[in-house]
Structure 1
Amino acid sequence: MSLSKNEIKFYKSLQQKKFRDQEGLFVIEGVKLFQELLEAKTFEIDQILIVEESDLIDELKVEHGKYLNVISNKDLERISSFKNPNQVFVTVEQKKLKALDYTEDQTILFLDNVRDPGNLGTIIRTADWFGVTQIRCSESSVELYNPKVVQSSMGSIFRVDVTYGDLLSEVQAAKAENFSILAADMDGEDLTNFDFNSKTVLVMGSESHGVSDEISALSTAITIPKKGKAESLNVAMATGIILSAIK
């Protein structure tokens, strides 16, 4: 099929948050992310647009035929955010917000004002590596469905539940469920000497502002011991180091 001007305009509009929110959709691009989506089965597919030369078409017709639209390479280039798009462009339904589950012994990650999409995507991927299945972001943090977040998560977005809301009230709720609240801070206790609880909330703040004062007041501050002269660590890198110590 050939995409109409209105269809091209619609698919391109999903690169903007305003229209993603309006439609309740987001976009994934490329074969690898698409395969991760199909394997995880945690999001509902809206439409699959795939180039006519793809080897995946016959297989997709069996289970996903009602979503499938075969398009030209030229049309894919018109709607893609990539310079060199890879075969497939998929619109996916956004998930509805759900409450955090505090019933099990686990580590939950809270992100306070993390605004860089690459950092959020990498943090989601890192959380997935360490078996963290829940992340709560402050409402000031970057949007989950930003294309750079989706791509940099490398498919982990489909396996880790990421939600948004007021972090202060969530910290209070976690404390009521006997979770230890730890906040990363340059002046905190050396994490290599710390005795971690089996029920832990780790709060990571932005590199420029750190964790908010209100949340810090309810938290125990921990830090990564510094050996060299670097001023600070990237928040995604720091998250990985601390999760490694907790796990």
Structure 2
Amino acid sequence: MLSKNKIKFIHSLNRKKTRENEKLFLVEGNKLVLEAISSKLPLKLLVATPDFYELTELDCNLAEEVIECSAEELKKASMLQTPQQAMAVVHMPNNVLRINQLTNQLSIALDFIQDPGNLGTIIRMADWFGIEHLLCSTDTVDCYNPKVIQASMGAILRVNVHYIDLEEWLEKANQVQLPVYGTFLEGENIYQSSLSNKGILVMGNEGNGISPAITRKIEHKIHIPSFATNGDGSESLNVATATAICCSEFKRRSY
């Protein structure tokens, strides 16, 4: 049975302050819960209907606390419009970032990304392209926001997301001669640019692009050209779409 206090606790994780204080986040839906179970992150709470437990034949010791409840009880606790059969409260990872973790691979840096759907999609895309580290400015939307979790489709459990002083870390990258790329309208055509298989790719805010302070740390300005005829195409690309195109080209060169 799912008590009112437990439902209240689950609902509290919709607030960033609570998540940060408790170092916990919520995942919902059968697929995401199963991915959380198979991840390296410990589960504080697992809540599911009898059908879910019967279907998956899970060990009852998978979480610190396991609760079996009715579909109606689960619906009261859920933050989804159409709840499935399970949800889990997961301990946040303790991701410690060191510059030597970035020197031999491609990483993504995000400068003030605001939309949860964009961040979740970028995390999912990073997972697809084998990108281990996502560097976020401190004003980027919280990666444990429920909307980000849903959009990431489980990738949040595998990609290391770091909230850092982005300007300071890009300066560290400059000091160790790690290439720093950024997308700009005046940048060089990405398909004609010399791209390394290691470095940091900076993507900017949905409305304002990359901030001036971060721009000063970027050595290589690149641009995704439009192939629309007569200049009648869209003015810009969605940041998640642009990130995917850039990563695809970087990875294609090193394939």
Q: TM-score, normalised by structure 2?
A: 0.91
User: Matches of 1:28 and 1:77 in 2, distance apart?
Assistant: 14
Residue in 2 that maps onto 1:236: 240
Residue in 1 that maps onto 2:152: 153
Q: Is the 8 A contact 1:97 1:164 kept in 2?
A: no
Alpha-carbon spacing, 1:208–1:236, altered in 2? closer, same or farther (3 Å): same
Residue in 2 that maps onto 1:7: 6
Question: Residues 72-91 of structure 1 correspond to what in structure 2 (within 5 A)?
Answer: 72-91=70-89
Alpha-carbon spacing, 1:171–1:58, altered in 2? closer, same or farther (3 Å): closer
Residue in 2 that maps onto 1:98: 96
Alpha-carbon spacing, 1:65–1:97, altered in 2? closer, same or farther (3 Å): closer
Query: What is the Cα deviation at residue 24 of structure 1?
Result: 1.6
Over the matched positions of the two proteins, sequence identity in percent amounts to 38
Query: What is the Cα deviation at residue 58 of structure 1?
Result: 7.0
- AA aligned opposite 2:35: E
Unaligned runs of 5+ in 2: none
- AA aligned opposite 2:224: I
Residue in 1 that maps onto 2:52: 54
Alpha-carbon spacing, 1:40–1:66, altered in 2? closer, same or farther (3 Å): closer
- What's the CA shift string for 1:54-80, capped at 9, x where partnerless? 244773235516532111111101110
Question: Residues 135-214 of structure 1 correspond to what in structure 2 (within 5 A)?
Answer: 135-214=134-213
Q: Is the 8 A contact 1:60 1:68 kept in 2?
A: no
Query: What is the Cα deviation at residue 173 of structure 1?
Result: 1.1
Q: Is the 8 A contact 2:27 2:90 kept in 1?
A: yes
- What's the CA shift string for 1:210-238, capped at 9, x where partnerless? 11112212212100011221011000000
Alpha-carbon spacing, 1:184–1:9, altered in 2? closer, same or farther (3 Å): same
Alpha-carbon spacing, 1:4–1:38, altered in 2? closer, same or farther (3 Å): closer
Query: What is the Cα deviation at residue 82 of structure 1?
Result: 1.2
Unaligned runs of 5+ in 1: none
User: Matches of 2:216 and 2:36 in 1, distance apart?
Assistant: 39
- What's the CA shift string for 1:2-21, capped at 9, x where partnerless? x2222221111111212222
SS in 1 for 2:26: strand
Is 1:246 aligned to residue 245 of structure 2? no
Alignment partner for residue 64 of structure 1, among 52, 57, 62?
Answer: 62
Q: TM-score, normalised by structure 1?
A: 0.93
User: Matches of 2:12 and 2:64 in 1, distance apart?
Assistant: 23
Q: CA RMSD in A?
A: 1.6
Question: Residues 35-54 of structure 1 correspond to what in structure 2 (within 5 A)?
Answer: 35-41=34-40, 43-54=41-52
Q: Which moved more, 1:24-33 or 1:7-16?
A: 7-16
